[in-house]
A = this chain, B = another copy of it.
């Protein structure tokens, strides 16, 4: 595709708030929260309806460069190539793209107002713990969930049979040192707020790293093995393969 045509196609798509894709040969300079340069190569170039720009190399799940929604585009026609400048005034960043060739540029207005329904996150896990307090300890009695403090919110707050306050921090995946840090911060804050010396800390997760467990126990906290709830379980090891290629 002619670079001139590409420029016109982009201008039209942006004006109509269409989504545009193109295979382009380019080099890229980014300046914003950091600075980066990517030498000449073939990439997938995307403009979304809200002014977000994504550039993907042929491999990897993440874009190699991107600009946030609300970015503006401008072109300068050079002798041998096209210079595209993408700017975002909100975060004061720029993306400069020298475009040497364009293949397969297409755009289309996409109609989609749907939001995704998601299950199996940490909130679901703290819900499950509230409903299954025995998973934390035999005598655990939950009081509140997602309790707000100035140092973050506590996943589950409760007490034991003796009346001691219990702070529970949930992780849906293997808990690491940072989870222990977090729990410690909450326990210390609760001690200050409630004016008590003894507050129990529980880290609830499907697993914990050895270092984290060591640090956890050194602080007098305990680990509770809890698996995050799943409403469905679609993966089966011995499933049929249909027309795989």
Taking Cβ atoms with an 8 Å cutoff, the residues of A that contact B are 11, 14-15, 17, 19, 21, 23, 28-29, 31-44, 46, 48-50, 52, 54, 56-61, 64-66, 68-69, 72-76, 85, 92-94, 96, 103-104, 106, 108, 110-121, 150-152, 172-173, 177-178, 181-182, 184-185, 211, 215, 230-235, 241-245
Contact = CB atoms under 8 A, between A and B. Distances in A.
Contact of A31 (B15, B49, B54, B235): B235
Top 3 A-B pairs ranked by shortest CB distance?
A41-B112, A181-B181, A34-B120
Nearest to A120: B34
A202 to B, nearest CB: 18
B48 A19 contact: no
A60 B54 CA distance: 10
Contacts of A120: 33-35
Q: Assembly of this chain: how many copies?
A: 2
Contacts of A118: 34-36
Contacts of A242: 74-76, 85
Contact of A108 (B103, B108, B231): B103
A19 B117 CA distance: 29
Contacts of A42: 108, 110-112
A138 B116 CA distance: 54
A151 B66 CA distance: 33
Contacts of A19: 23, 44, 56, 58
A52 B61 contact: yes
A12 to B, nearest CB: 9
Given A43-B110, A54-B61, A61-B69, 14 more contacts: A11-B245, A14-B245, A17-B58, A19-B44, A21-B21, A31-B234, A34-B119, A44-B110, A58-B111, A75-B243, A96-B234, A104-B106, A177-B185, A185-B215
Contact of A59 (B14, B50, B241): B50
A76 B11 CA distance: 38
